[in-house]
Amino acid sequence: LALMTDWHDWQDTRVDGERLWNRIVALGEIGAIAGPNGELGCARLALTDADREGRDLVTGWMRDLGLTVTIDAIGNVVATRPGTDPRAAAVMTGSHIDTVATGGRFDGNLGVLAGLEVIETLETLDIATRRPVSVAFFTDEEGARFAPDMLGSLVYVGGMALEEALDIAATDDDARLGDELVRIGYAGPFPCPAAAAPHAYVELHIEQGPILEDEGVTIGVVEGVQGISWTELAITGRSAHAGTTPMRLRRDPGFVAAAITTFVRGLTKQLAGAQVATVGRIDVRPNLVNVVPATATITVDLRNTDEATLVVAERALDAEVARLAEAESVSVTSRSLARFEPVEFDPVTVALVEATAQRLGYSTRRLPSGAGHDAQMLARVCPTAMIFTPSVDGLSHNIAEHTTPEDVTAGANVLLQTLLQLADVAD
Ligand code: HGY
Ligand code: MN
Ligand code: MN
């Protein structure tokens, strides 16, 4: 094995962009959704059969590379290439391969497959690193079927007890997370939280927003992740006849759901800055044209880079819900589905990503992440940073999600070069 003695050699190594792109296409075919204008998205909600198929394909590639593949009790998969120092903690990369129902081929998948490509490049060029290098995919990053999001990595770092996570019921149906994990054959033997923390964690991900594209920048140097607050509001009124019931007698949860949706939009204008708000789910029952609804269940997703402002937004929402409940004589049950504070990544590792991208000749720009990522959980246990590549039209969580092959290759090259430095840095 050619040890990494000649400083110059390893700096010239690059990934095989075509091999990486072919894997992105192949994985994207599992749960593929074709759009009317040639869009190619995919739907692999966590722990569904499609997720199992994706897991089987990726773990097959990991095993083909001769990697040691471990599966833990929440279904996180970690594939490791040994280093020359068996005692050294691994440098880890990875992301997720579960998607939302209208997902793209890049969200999460890029980070996992680029990690695999980095390892295949080391194998192909016969490069040894002192530290082991591992690539992981974490269970249920999206949180779309089982809340909260970043669930697998949260359990991996000890942020939620395994038993609590296994008992989570799906938001839509009543499937129990632990049962689904067994059903798809990914309830693994390795313990959660993980026995040892990685030496460092770097995740490649698409930006999923418009900043890099708008500024014509190739590499996003991510400084942290904004805070996330997901609340489910179950509103109960009284169904009634749409024609005969006078307005003064109505207890209309549909009206309250709409009023809250409008209120949180107003909140983003009032708080301005980084505040964003989304009512992504509205489930009105019985959902009939001539029936004043009996119930309405909605979710509110509030995010902000500043924790204090996010708390102000949450409190304003609570006060408005109470006001509307009183005015419309409905009852509201509120349930928190996810709550994570903003996370700052390790400045030294962030600077390493930036210097590496610039050394490779790519334009860079520092920015916070608007989306949640597994990196925000790994940041609790080791120095962590992220690399962003541009998203065409800033689109994600949409089957039209796209990143160009050139940008995919650029991101993977920055990941390769960053991991090589971390995997060989003497303690
Ligand atoms: O919701 C998020 O930010 C991520 O896609 N789970
Ligand atoms: Mn993602
Ligand atoms: Mn996502």
The contacts of residue 299 (CB under 8 Å, 6+ apart) are 230, 231, 232, 233, 279, 280, 281, 337
Atom of ligand 1 nearest to the CA of 303: 3
For ligand 2, an ion, list residues with CB under 5 A: 107-108
State the pTM of this model. Answer: 0.96
The contacts of residue 141 (CB under 8 Å, 6+ apart) are 46, 95, 96, 98, 108, 149, 150, 151, 152, 153, 372, 373, 374
Residue 121: the pLDDT is 97
**E-strand stretches of 138-275:** 200-206, 219-225, 227-236, 240-241
Pocket test for ligand 1, best of 142, 207, 339, 388 (most atoms within 8 A of CB): 142
**E-strand stretches of 106-184:** 133-137
Residue 208: the pLDDT is 98
Atom of ligand 1 nearest to the CA of 397: 5
Phi then psi for 315, rounded to 5 degrees?
-70, -35
Residue 9: the pLDDT is 81
Ligand 1, atom 6: closest residue by C-alpha: 142
378 vs 80: CA distance, rounded Å: 17
Residue 227: the pLDDT is 98
Residue 254: the pLDDT is 98
413 vs 410: CA distance, rounded Å: 5
Atom of ligand 1 nearest to the CA of 301: 1
Pocket test for ligand 1, best of 141, 230, 396 (most atoms within 8 A of CB): 141
What the block records as the tokens of 178 is 């632990």
Per-residue pLDDT of the chain (427 residues; tens, 9 = 90+): 455 545 458 899 999 999 999 999 999 999 999 999 999 999 999 999 999 999 999 999 999 999 999 999 999 999 999 999 989 999 999 999 999 999 999 999 999 999 999 999 999 999 999 999 999 999 999 999 999 999 999 999 999 999 999 999 999 888 999 999 999 999 999 999 999 999 999 999 999 999 999 999 999 999 999 999 999 999 999 999 999 999 999 999 999 999 999 999 999 999 999 999 999 999 999 999 999 999 999 999 999 999 999 999 999 999 999 999 999 999 999 999 999 999 999 999 999 999 999 999 999 999 999 999 999 999 999 999 999 999 999 999 999 999 999 999 999 999 999 999 999 844 3
The contacts of residue 358 (CB under 8 Å, 6+ apart) are 364
Residue 173: the pLDDT is 83
What is the distance in A from the centroid of ligand 2 to the CA of 52?
18
Element (H, E) at 213: helix 211-215
Residue 334: the pLDDT is 98
| Other beta carbons less than 10 A from residue 369's beta carbon | 25
Ligand 1, atom 5: closest residue by C-alpha: 142
247: DSSP letter: G
Q: What is the residue type of 259?
A: A
Atom of ligand 1 nearest to the CA of 372: 3
Pocket of ligand 1 (CB under 6 A): 141-143, 149, 371-372
Q: Could you tell me how far CA 219 lies from the centroid of its own chain? A: 18
